[in-house]
């Protein structure tokens, strides 16, 4: 069945290409309100600038010599007196390039990479799409990169963002700004809204948060603290940065501690850190038990597991335990975030990812191989208890923004990949009233847009597998455009068949409707039917 459905989608995409009209050249619409794009953790190019001669090199992201540059330029130590993490290299300073009005730093994170490019594409597809709508770099389209190692409320970052908003406001001739944030960028914007509320209200018109961990990403961060993390997946990670080198970087980053999760949030399902451990009863007999530690209690486990963690820098072993000073700073950050209030003149929209298994709780060890030494946890492969989300942020966290939202939409998609989803582009275009309105846009039932990411849902009927397409679309919307068109819909019927083993035969049919004026981008896939003959 999966083969049939895949062929249906491929046939639809081929048909769309055949009827697609030539795309007009990019134009500039001077009437658009300006947009500022704010990335998440790891989503900004970082340069190391030599203090001696001012020369600079890109140290994040790069695939060539990536591990060496990470260790020599980005490994850092936290200074509790300032709340800032400082690079161990005393001879260089980390900066964020401002080329292309801040867009260069958040577009393609390794511009020199020729293969595996999707792994480092960040806002590239969105920038490309928005330019087609009429946005112009430096006039109505801007980017805000930042040192993602730092706290989301670091005063230096807050001051830079305030200056950025003022400069955009002036460049746009006094027009208020639409902020589009991704992932941890949502926490940064929310911190700014709390700490610089007057500036936020003065300059911001709309805020669209995408895949924001509004209450943290507890499963992913617990796993990161104990095992490290990979910034890219697939074969690229074999030539990139090791998980443990990333761990040694992130263990001193306040931003990662601020992703552990709000300590006062009332989870519907409390995230836990679980350990299979060997215990002895009063008679000395051993038995293996599964122990669960909720967020507050898990801190002691992290402390013991990392008590002897060190990093060798410049020939010296430097201790890097679980940092309680950073934890205290992060808890204060959550206090600030919990008190956030949206200014009455600002509209807020929330897009969150769905349909992927997302770490919520993590478990180490097993009944056959219990954990005997907490300091050996780094050598255990974590087993995740997953919930629905985008693969990184659980839906429960992403939806709990605590703000008066105009709309909250669940879009099937992966945490970073969601920035390339046509669903997301259409929502942003509609909310920001950018470009030519689509008269057939209806957020309540517009749930199939091709090409699209999809999930196959399987059933058992009469002893055979039957599959269907599954799309989740959750929305609260106050505004509907009431527009009409006099042109005719385009329709097409598609059928595919597949012969299986033991003379089995299956067939799928679909009817496709393309609404006029949408240039093949507003597509409804109707009357999808699958028949199976298992004889």
Give the catalytic positions in this structure: 183, 390, 415
**CA separation for the pair 244, 224 (Å, rounded):** 9
The first and second tokens of residue 237, run together, are: 């990670």
- Residue 288 Rama label (left phi>0; alpha psi -120 to 50; beta): beta
**CA separation for the pair 121, 100 (Å, rounded):** 16
**CA distance readout (Å), 322 to 101, 138, 250, 314:** 37, 42, 10, 22
The first and second tokens of residue 26, run together, are: 């990019």
The first and second tokens of residue 352, run together, are: 């969150």
Angle at 488 between CA 436 and CA 452, to 5 degrees: 60
DSSP 239: G
Contact (Cβ atoms closer than 8 angstroms) between residue 318 and residue 310: yes
Contact (Cβ atoms closer than 8 angstroms) between residue 409 and residue 352: yes
**CA distance readout (Å), 472 to 66, 72, 194, 354, 419:** 38, 45, 32, 7, 17
Torsion angles phi and psi, residue 127, rounded to 5:
-60, -45
| Sign of the alpha-carbon dihedral angle for 370, 248, 253, 237 | negative
**CA separation for the pair 532, 514 (Å, rounded):** 28
Nearest of 324, 400, 389, 327 to residue 360 by alpha carbon = 389
How far does Cα 364 stand from its chain's mean position? 25
Contact (Cβ atoms closer than 8 angstroms) between residue 120 and residue 108: yes
Q: Which long-range contacts (CB under 8 A, 24 or more apart) does 494-499 make?
A: 494/8, 494/11, 494/12, 494/15, 496/4, 496/7, 496/8, 496/11, 497/4, 498/3, 498/4, 498/7
Contact (Cβ atoms closer than 8 angstroms) between residue 408 and residue 474: yes
Contact (Cβ atoms closer than 8 angstroms) between residue 450 and residue 420: no
């Amino acid at each position: 069945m999966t083969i049939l459905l895949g062929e249906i989608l491929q046939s639809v995409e081929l048909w769309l290409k055949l009827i697609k009209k030539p795309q007009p050249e990019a134009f500039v619409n001077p009437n658009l309100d300006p947009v500022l794009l704010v990335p998440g953790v790891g989503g900004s190019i970082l340069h190391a600038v030599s203090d001696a001669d001012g020369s600079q090199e890109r140290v994040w992201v790069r695939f060539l010599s990536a591990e060496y540059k990470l260790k020599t330029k980005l490994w850092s130590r936290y200074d509790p007196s300032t709340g800032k993490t400082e690079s161990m290299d005393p001879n260089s300073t980390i900066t964020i390039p401002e080329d292309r009005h801040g867009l260069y730093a958040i577009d393609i994170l390794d511009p020199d990479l020729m293969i595996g490019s999707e792994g480092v594409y960040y806002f590239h597809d969105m920038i490309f799409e928005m330019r087609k709508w009429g946005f112009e770099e430096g006039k109505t389209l801007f980017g805000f990169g930042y040192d993602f190692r730092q706290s989301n409320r670091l005063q230096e970052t807050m001051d830079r963002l305030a200056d950025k908003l003022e400069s955009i406001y002036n460049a746009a001739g006094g027009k208020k700004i639409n902020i589009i944030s991704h992932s941890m960028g949502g926490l940064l914007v929310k911190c700014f809204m709390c700490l610089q509320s007057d500036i936020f209200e003065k300059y911001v018109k709309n805020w669209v948060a995408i895949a924001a961990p509004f209450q943290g990403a507890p499963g992913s961060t617990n796993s990161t603290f104990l095992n490290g993390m990979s910034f890219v997946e697939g074969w690229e990670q074999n030539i990139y940065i090791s998980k443990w080198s990333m761990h040694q970087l992130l263990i001193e980053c306040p931003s990662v501690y601020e992703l552990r999760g709000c300590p006062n949030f009332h989870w519907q399902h409390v995230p836990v850190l679980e350990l299979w451990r060997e215990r002895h009863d009063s008679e000395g007999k051993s038995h293996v038990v599964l122990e669960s530690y909720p967020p507050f209690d898990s801190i002691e486990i992290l402390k013991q597991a990392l008590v002897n963690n060190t990093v060798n820098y410049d020939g010296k072993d430097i201790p890097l335990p679980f940092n309680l000073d950073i934890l205290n700073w992060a808890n204060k950050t959550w206090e600030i975030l919990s008190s956030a209030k949206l200014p009455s003149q600002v509209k807020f929209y929330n897009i969150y990812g769905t349909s992927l298994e997302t770490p919520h709780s993590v478990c180490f060890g097993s009944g056959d191989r219990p954990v005997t030494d907490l300091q050996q946890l780094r050598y255990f492969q974590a087993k995740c208890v997953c919930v629905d989300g985008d693969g990184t942020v659980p839906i429960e966290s992403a939806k709990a923004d605590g703000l008066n939202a105009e709309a909250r939409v669940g879009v099937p998609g992966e945490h970073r990949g969601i920035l390339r989803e046509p669903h997301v582009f259409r929502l942003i275009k509609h909310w920001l009233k950018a470009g030519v309105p689509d008269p057939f846009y209806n957020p309540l039932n517009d749930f199939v847009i091709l090409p699209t990411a999809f999930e196959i849902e399987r059933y058992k009927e009469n002893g055979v597998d039957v599959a269907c397409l599954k799309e989740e679309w959750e929305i609260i919307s106050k505004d509907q455009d009431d527009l009409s068109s006099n042109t005719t819909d385009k329709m097409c019927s598609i059928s595919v068949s597949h012969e299986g083993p033991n003379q089995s035969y299956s067939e799928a049919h679909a009817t496709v409707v393309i609404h006029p004026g949408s240039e093949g981008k507003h597509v409804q896939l109707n009357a999808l039917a699958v028949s199976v003959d298992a004889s």
